[in-house]
Amino acid sequence: MLEARDIMQILPHRYPFLLVDRITELEPGERAVGIKNVTANEPQFTGHWPGNPVFPGMLILEAMAQVGGVLLLTGLDDEGDQLALFGGVDKARFRRQVIPGDQLRFEVELIRRKGPIGKVRGVAMVGDELACEADLMFALSRPPDDEPEKAE
């Protein structure tokens, strides 16, 4: 099991954009399961929507992608030196509203990986109900150097 501090060793995301609280299952190169506890204290609920808070679908996809990123980045020889960049979404469907108090469980499985490109299939569940499903694509990349090049 990976806690938030462990996830931050793998992904560059930080508050308010780290959307995964815990990885409960991880089979590197095969599948991962992650949890997101949706609370009323989250900043998006001030505008989405006042009096009727609904967790935005794009954030459900982003959280699913973060679980997919953990899956793709774990088990690599140089895992701390790469980023999993979100490359695309196919077959996304939203089946249920997600509201404060819900717990999202993301289940992602690797469909394929060829070189720096990976594709996962994911579902987001609230209890036994399907909230979202999608195929997500990633490009693995090295982060840019922090130091600018020196002119000669």
By annotation, the residues acting in catalysis are: 48
Alpha helices by DSSP H, listed for the chain, are: 4-10, 57-73
Structure tokens at 75: 């088990």
| Degrees, nearest 5: CA angle 13-100-125 | 75
Give me the count of residues in the chain: 152
Residue 1 exposure: Cα atoms within 13 Å on the Cβ side: 5
Closest CA to 20 of 81, 78, 80, 61: 61
Rounding to the nearest 10 degrees, give the CA dihedral for residues 38, 136, 123, 42.
0
